[in-house]
Structure 1
Amino acid sequence: MTDAPDPWNDFVRELGVRLLRARAEKRLSQEQVAHAAGLATFTYRKLEKGESNPGTAANPRLRTLVALAEVLGVPLQDLVPAPPEGLAPGR
Structure 2
Amino acid sequence: MSDQPDPWTDFARELGARMLRARAEKRMSQEQVAHAAGLATFTYRKLEKGESNPGTAANPRLRTLVALADVLGVPLSDLIPNPPRGLPPVR
* Range into which the TM-score falls when normalised by the shorter chain: over 0.9
Counterpart of 1:60?
60
Distance in 1 of aligned mates of 2:90 and 2:73: 30
- Partner residue of 2:11? 11
- Corresponding residue of 1:22: 22
Q: Cα distance, 1:12 vs. partner?
A: 0.3
Gaps of 5+ in 1: none
Q: Distance in 2 between matches of 1:51 and 1:20?
A: 14
- Residue 37 of structure 1 is matched in structure 2 by 37
Within the alignment, does 1:71 sit opposite 2:67 as a pair? no
> Where in structure 1 do 4 or more consecutive aligned residues deviate above 4 Å?
none
Tell me the CA shift for residue 90 of structure 1.
Answer: 2.4
Structure 2, gaps ≥5 residues long: none
- Distance in 2, matches of 1:90 and 1:30, equals 28
Number of the residue aligned with 1:48: 48
Q: How many equivalent pairs are there?
A: 91
Q: Take 2:79 and 2:59, find their aligned partners in 1: how far apart are those partners? A: 14
SS of structure 2 residue aligned to 1:18:
helix
Q: TM-score, normalised by structure 1?
A: 0.98
RMSD of equivalent CA atoms: 0.7
